[in-house]
Amino acid sequence: MSENENLKFDSKCVHAGIGDYEHGPVIPPIYQTSTFKFESTQQGAALFKGEKEGYIYTRMSNPTVEAMEKAVASLEGGYRALGCGSGMAAISTTLLTLLNAGDHIVFSEAVYGPTATLIVNVLKRFNIESTPVDSTNLDNIKNAMKPNTKVVYIETPGNPTLAITDLSGAAEIAHSNGAVLVVDNTFMSPALQRPFEHGADVVVHSMTKFLNGHADVVAGIIVVKTQEDYKKFRSVLNQLGGVIDPFNAFLVHRGLKTLDIRMKKLSENAMKVAKFLESHPQVKWVRYPGLESHPQYEIAQKQQSAPGGMISFELKGGFAAGEAVMNSVKLCTLAVSLGGVETLIQHPASMTHLSMGQKAREEAGITEGLVRLSVGIENADDLIADLEQALEKASTV
């Protein structure tokens, strides 16, 4: 492991977390076991006391899971990582580790929906207050800080508006108020953005998305910077129990090997698709961090090495045009989620946010013609041709 730390990022993707195993397999074996045999009561006792390294029970640790965790920690530049059963398990474990009753959390308003619900509805039941802010303006974070603010929680680019927050600015505000900065780095992955380099204290991911990258696993991860944090988080995760299982950890570790190459290719594709959309007469606006029209383009240039695969755009034809595009695409797959090798397309107003009603959608910034695209690694020309024919259908509704 340690000699891999000096490797370049793309080499690390291939080699990080790979150790030596019995019989010399090139890939870490899947230790599909719930529990581990002790050699003696004395050895079992030494493991429980932490005097000896080893495995006891898979909820506590497992070699296949640990190999993947070491890989993600290395890619993010953290100390260690904790594999979780989903992105939400990683986020809920993080917040329940860091916050106590009576504390306050400031969070970006453009966060993943269930994250906002967790903070606003669930944490509230434990007497934890929260303030959502438009974190693209750092003054809003500063003004929301209170003496009991313990966490600043940022997702950048955020969901679904792709609003971008200046990470080093947010870290400075959090730290000068004695709070920690937690960053959800799902949309970028460490291939394109490494929040620890900008002052973050904890990084979380839905590995369901880019880290695994193949739309066949639900998983999450917490990455921490210090041994002290690692112990604290591991203890809470062990009690809450939302761990990843060995088989999913194996799949994610396999996905990581192509992370760098996937993120480069899908960023290139997304840039071409975004430019095509921006020039299309049926499209009102396009939000993509690689376009100069993005309101936080400068910040994106500073903290992201490429713009990523997520594009939001608004159709001039509104709700009906959105439905028409969804029902006309052939290569793009009509599905929620993101971050896979295949391009996914979604129309929040007629799908995920339909039950909210138009008025509530408007208040939440979910406009009627808003389309979200997670660009994959297909040929960009094929993607553009597919969108072109779907937009053509939308022009007649």
Ligand X SMILES: *Cc1c(COP(=O)(O)O)cnc(C)c1O
Nearer to ligand X (CB atom), residue 160 or residue 317: 160
Cα 351 to Cα 27, 177, 323, 348, 383, distances in angstroms? 40, 40, 9, 5, 22
As a whole number of angstroms, the distance between CA 231 and CA 97 comes to 11
Nearer to ligand X (CB atom), residue 111 or residue 391: 111
| Chosen residue from 220, 242, 246, 308 binding ligand X by CB under 6 A | 220
Task: State yes or no: residue 86 binds ligand X (CB under 6 A).
Answer: yes
- Closest approach of ligand X to the CB of residue 88, in Å: 4
| Chosen residue from 112, 233, 313, 319 binding ligand X by CB under 6 A | 112
Cβ within 8 Å of residue 56, ≥6 positions away:
35, 36, 44, 47, 48
As a whole number of angstroms, the distance between CA 188 and CA 196 comes to 13
- Closest approach of ligand X to the CB of residue 359, in Å: 25
Nearer to ligand X (CB atom), residue 45 or residue 336: 336
DSSP secondary structure string for all residues of 153-213: EEESSPTTT-----HHHHHHHHHHTT-EEEEE-TTT-TTT--GGGGT-SEEEEETTTTTT-
Contact yes or no for 383/393 (Cβ under 8 A): no
Contact yes or no for 324/245 (Cβ under 8 A): no
| Chosen residue from 81, 88, 377, 383 binding ligand X by CB under 6 A | 88
Contact yes or no for 276/282 (Cβ under 8 A): no
Of residues 317, 314, 309, the one with CA closest to residue 337:
309
Task: State yes or no: residue 245 binds ligand X (CB under 6 A).
Answer: no
Buried b (16+ CB within 10 A) or exposed e, 84-94: bbbbbbbbbbb
As a whole number of angstroms, the distance between CA 131 and CA 145 comes to 9
Using the rule CB under 6 A, give the single segment among 34-42, 84-92, 167-175, 246-254 that binds ligand X. Answer: 84-92
Nearer to ligand X (CB atom), residue 184 or residue 201: 184
Nearer to ligand X (CB atom), residue 186 or residue 193: 186
- Closest approach of ligand X to the CB of residue 391, in Å: 26
Cβ within 8 Å of residue 6, ≥6 positions away:
none
- Closest approach of ligand X to the CB of residue 6, in Å: 31
Q: One symbol per residue from 53 to 82: x for binding ligand X (CB under 6 A), - otherwise; what is it?
A: ------------------------------
Nearer to ligand X (CB atom), residue 154 or residue 331: 154
Cβ within 8 Å of residue 300, ≥6 positions away:
157, 164, 289, 290, 294, 307
- Closest approach of ligand X to the CB of residue 29, in Å: 25
| Chosen residue from 92, 159, 269, 312 binding ligand X by CB under 6 A | 159
Residue 93: DSSP 8-state: H
Nearer to ligand X (CB atom), residue 112 or residue 233: 112
Q: One symbol per residue from 175 to 204: x for binding ligand X (CB under 6 A), - otherwise; what is it?
A: ---------x-xx-----------------
- Closest approach of ligand X to the CB of residue 116, in Å: 10
Of residues 320, 375, 310, the one with CA closest to residue 349:
320
Task: State yes or no: residue 372 binds ligand X (CB under 6 A).
Answer: no
Catalytic positions:
59, 112, 184, 209
- Closest approach of ligand X to the CB of residue 184, in Å: 5
| Chosen residue from 218, 341, 364, 366 binding ligand X by CB under 6 A | 218
Residue 313: DSSP 8-state: E
Beta-carbon neighbour count of residue 24 at 10 Å? 6
Residues that bind ligand X (CB under 6 A): 86-88, 112, 115, 155, 159, 184, 186-187, 206, 208-209, 218, 220
